[in-house]
Amino acid sequence: MESLHPDVKKILLSKDDIHDIVARMGAQITADYADKNPLIVAVLRGAVVFTADLMREIDCPLAIDFMAVSSYGEGFKSSGVVRIVKDLDTKIEGRNVLIVEDILDSGLTLSYLMRMLENRNPASVEVAAFLVKDVEGNTPAVTPRYVGAHVPDEFIVGYGLDFSERYRNLPYIGILKPEAYKK
Ligand code: XMP
Ligand code: MG
């Protein structure tokens, strides 16, 4: 087990757990996209670490591009009103697009993004989410085709996920101690 960062309450997914999950997702995507030359769209910045691992587990031709969005939501919750900070450099008309996200919470960010990309007439748009947050009484606005793992309704950091740009480099997925985001 990795050494635990002092601000992390608990490790949910170790390096080994993550490797197994990403390998499983990569195999599924390889089977589904073998002859589709997918365009992998990584949503900056959180999905960068997952995307870098996932693409190396996909054994078929593919291309990647990046988008950066910022949610107008206050604090931790997204409002569904999304501003494009960096758009794709690739034309997606007729392409099979696979959006890669770090974590799906309400799904509002992704549903906005999917609608925007669908307006550009791609052949398909699907989502691979590394994590889905299970929030009681909440049905996410988007159903990802590929899901890595479910996590509880707490603040999750590591493996690309941040709090205030910190902790992205932790090699595991952990729950942040409330003291760490209240201070
Ligand atoms: P929605 O609600 O639109 O939110 O699905 C998705 C975005 O919110 C961020 N998010 C988190 N980031 N730890 C994080 O580091 C979390 O526990 C967390 N929950 C939501 C994330 O940027 C995601 O794209
Ligand atoms: Mg974030």
Domain ranges of the chain: 15-154
Specify the length of the chain in residues: 183
Distance 21 CA to ligand 2 centre (A): 21
Task: For the domain made up of 15-154, give the CATH fold.
Answer: Rossmann fold (3.40.50)
Lowest mean pLDDT across 50-59, 68-77, 82-91? 68-77
The per-residue pLDDT of the chain, averaged, comes to 93
Is the confidence at residue 149, as pLDDT, over 70?
yes
Measured by CA distance, the residue closest to atom 13 of ligand 1 is 156
- Please identify every residue annotated as catalytic: 105
Q: In this predicted model, what pLDDT tens digit does every residue of 24-71 receive, in sequence order?
A: 999 999 999 999 999 999 999 999 999 999 999 999 999 999 999 887
Per-residue model confidence (pLDDT) at position 181: 86
Relative orientation angle of helices 15-33 and 48-55, to the nearest 10 degrees: 60
Both structure tokens of 52? 């870098």
Per-residue model confidence (pLDDT) at position 50: 98
Distance CA 19, CA 25 (A): 10
Distance 75 CA to ligand 1 centre (A): 11
∠132-53-70 over CA atoms, to 5°?
Answer: 55
Per-residue model confidence (pLDDT) at position 139: 86
